[in-house]
Amino acid sequence: MDAALACFTTHGYAATRMEDVAARAGVSKAALYLYFRSKKALFTAVVREAVVPLVEHGERLLAEHRGPSADLLRRIIGDAWPRMANTPAGGLCRVLMAEVGRFPALARLYLDEVVIRARRLHIAILRRGIAAGEFRPDLDLDLAARLLIGNVVFASLWRGSFHPYDRCDLDALIVAHLDLYLRGIAA
């Protein structure tokens, strides 16, 4: 899985070949096909192993959290950002953005298993905050959830593309984003 993640994030989906993944993993192409019948199946498994656990972690935190919803949002973004910033998993979003037009089934997979599920999680936290009187009751929940994750995606894309040429303290950017966001939705 690590070899596949590295190949997809380095070369993109279209340019990654099963034999490249097999060589990087130190197995034969035939052995790789014993576990994954196609490149799409391999990519699906990579998304489910590298990114879906971030959403599952957030869902567990929501179920267990007993404090302010703003603290929960800080925790979820604070836990997800380092994984998106400092591991190859963050590159999957960049790959999908670049190749979505040519591979709509992959976009659908990522939307269903990551984006929409994460948005539902964020909306549930926003609703919780509204019910507790923490957040403005007039929020458009869908837009507010999209705005929450927008700068995290942007920072991840920036790190994988322009960061070597235009350095920015992306960790500070995420903290500033959360501060401005939470002030903007406060009751």
What pLDDT shows up at residue 32? 95
57/27 same-domain check: no
- Which residues of the chain are modeled with pLDDT < 50? none
| DSSP symbol at 48 | H
134/168 same-domain check: yes
Total structural domains in the chain?
A: 2
140/150 same-domain check: yes
What pLDDT shows up at residue 147? 95
What pLDDT shows up at residue 34? 94
What pLDDT shows up at residue 30? 95
Owning domain of residue 94: 51-185
The beta-strand segments (E) located in 1-160 are none
95/39 same-domain check: no
148/172 same-domain check: yes
SS3 content of the chain, % helix, strand, coil (to 5): 75, 0, 25
Please report, for the domain that includes residue 42, its CATH number: 1.10.10.60
What pLDDT shows up at residue 160? 78
43/60 same-domain check: no
43/57 same-domain check: no
44/55 same-domain check: no
178/149 same-domain check: yes
92/29 same-domain check: no
Domain end (from 15, 30, 49): 49
Distances (CA, A) of 184 to 16, 131, 137, 180: 42, 17, 12, 6
78/144 same-domain check: yes
Torsion of CA 44, 46, 47, 52, to 10 degrees: 120
55/42 same-domain check: no
Please report, for the domain that includes residue 112, its CATH number: 1.10.357.10
Q: What are the backbone dihedrals phi and psi of residue 137, each rounded to the nearest 5 degrees, phi first?
A: -75, -15
